[in-house]
Amino acid sequence: MKTNPVKRALKEGKPQVGTWLSLESIFATRFMARVGFPWLTVDIEHSPVSWETAAHMFAAIADAGCVPLARVPRGDHDHIKRVLDAGAMGIVVPMVNTVEQAKAAIAAAKYPPVGDRSVGGAIHALNFNAAAGDYFKHANDEILVVLQTESPEGVENAEEIYSLPGVDAIFVGPNDLKFQMRNFTEDGSDPTPEEFEAMLQRVLSAGKKTGTPVGIHTMTVEDCQRRIDEGWQFLAMASELKMMVNEASRVVKELGLAAESDLAKY
């Protein structure tokens, strides 16, 4: 059975930079899977990607030798089960604020006796170049489990969450974390850049203390490299949508045409 190289690289302390897919395009996915990123995450939380299209995207990524991940809408058993049965080689679970939520997500990704993942399906084994029986035997060792820290509550519980068996990496969604921090400002405004950076550094410190790789979404190569230098390991670089819009906007600007700004945050 094919192993998960991203999971192994993270265990070895090697940074892994990938990107987000949100266009629901198998055509675009086939190209993105070949540009050199070690992993690609199909975003099923904030995009209109359907379950069937997601399965085709996972297959296109895996067939190109890249690792397909899925960001599920939330850490429910049925969502995690569906993406893994559809061939994702790992999950990214949003808004994990408590130890209980973390334990539930981890359990849903692992077959008994480690977890409570339901046994079924056949497509998943294809992406690992395995027979179904071999997949059921080895999947617990190869599925990558990434939990997202996106709120001050999640940061408060970080060390306990990050220490749980089965957590392979942590990922910060900066926009959500910043918006959730509004609940702790007097007028509901954004935190200051200094306050926000201090919160990010708490995540990084918790990851280093527990020995758990932590990562973050970045928008520029410079920012991505800076975070790697700080010790962040699981990093996303924009998205295929953001890259397309950025390049199109650059061309339009150079042609002297009127250009819209801020079309895509990610």
Catalytic residues: 46
Q: Which residues pair with 43 in a beta bridge?
A: 71
C-alpha distances out from residue 140 to 46, 112, 114, 221, Å: 27, 9, 8, 33
Distance CA 143, CA 136 (A): 11
**Under 8 Å between Cβ of 155 and 202:** yes
Q: What dihedral angle (degrees, nearest 10) is formed by the CA atoms of 114, 120, 125, 126?
A: -160
Rounded distance between C-alpha atoms, residue 188 and residue 166, angstroms: 36
The pair of structure tokens assigned to 3 is 């192993």
Cα–Cα distance, 124 to 83 (Å, whole number): 9
Q: What is the DSSP string of 60-82?
A: HHHHTTPEEEEE-SSS-HHHHHH
| Cβ pair 81, 102 in contact under 8 A | no
Gap between the Cα atoms of 154 and 66, Å rounded: 30
CA angle 18, 23, 26 (to 5 degrees): 85
